[in-house]
Amino acid sequence: MHDMNGSRGFVRRLAALTRKEFRQLLRDASNLAIGIALPIVLILIFGYGMSLDVKDAPVAVVLDDASPAAYDAVAGLRLSGAFRPVFVASMHDAVALLERREADAIVRVPADFSARLGAGGAAIQLIVHGAEASRAAIIANYITGALAQWPQRRLDREGGPALAAEVLPVISSNGAVTIEQRMWFNAANTSTWYLVPGLIVLIMTLVGAFLTALVMAREWERGTLEALFVTPVRPVEILLAKIIPYFTVGMVGLALCLAAARWLFAVPMQGSLWIILLASMLYLFVAVGMGLLISSVAKNQFIASQVALLASFMPSLMLSGFLFDLRNVPAVVRWIGNALPATYFMELLKTLFLAGDVWPLIVRDCAVLAGYAVLLLGAARLVTRKRLD
Partner 1 sequence: MHDTLADLWFRLLNLCRKEFLAVLKDPKSRTILVMPALVQSLLFGYAATYDLNDVPYALVDDSRSAASAQLAAKLDGTGVFRRVATANTPAAERHLVDTQQVLLVLHIPRDFERRLYAGEQVPVQLILDGRNSNTAGSAASHVAAVVADFNRQWRERHGGRGAPLEVAVRAWFNPNLETRWNLMPGLIASLSMLQTLLLTALSVAREREQGTFDQLLVTPMTPAEIMLGKALPPVCIGLLQSTLILLVTRFWFQVPMAGSVVSLYAALALFTVACVGIGLAISAVAASMQQAMLYTFVLVMPLMLLSGLTTPVRNMPPLMQTLTWANPLRFAIDMVQRIYLEGAGLAAVRHDMVPLLVIAAITLPYAAWLFRHRLV
Count of residues that interact with partner 1, criterion CB under 8 A? 118
Q: How far apart are CA 111 and CA 115, in angstroms?
A: 8
Q: Using the rule CB under 8 A, is 389 a contact of partner 1?
A: no
As beta bridge partners, residue 386 has: none
Q: Does 339 bind partner 1 (CB under 8 A)?
A: no
Residue whose CB is less far from partner 1, 17 or 216: 216
Considering beta carbons, is residue 6 or 330 the nearer one to partner 1? 330
- Is 244 a binding residue for partner 1 by CB under 8 A? The answer is no
306 in contact with partner 1 (CB under 8 A): yes
Taking contact as CB under 8 A, which single stretch among the options 204-212, 227-235, 252-260, 369-377 is the one that binds partner 1? 204-212
344 is a site residue for partner 1 (CB under 8 A): no
270 binds partner 1 (CB under 8 A): no
Q: What's the distance, Cα to Cα, between the start and end of the chain in Å?
A: 12
- Please state at what angle helix 235-259 crosses helix 212-222, rounded to 10 degrees: 150
Among 62, 97, 201, 211, binds partner 1 (CB under 8 A): 211
Of 101-130, binders to partner 1 (CB under 8 A) are: 119-130
List of residues 6+ apart from 346 with CB closer than 8 A: 197, 198, 201, 316, 320, 321, 322
Residue from 2, 384, 22 nearest 231 by CA: 2
Residue 268 found at the interface with partner 1 (CB under 8 A): no
* Shortest spacing between CB 4 and partner 1, in angstroms: 33
Binding residue (CB under 8 A) for partner 1 from 310, 339, 374, 388: 310
Within 8 A by CB and 6+ apart from 85, the residues are 59, 61, 74, 75, 77, 78, 107
- Between residue 162 and residue 201, which ones bind partner 1 under the rule CB under 8 A? 168-187, 189-191, 193-194
Helix, strand, or coil here: 107?
strand
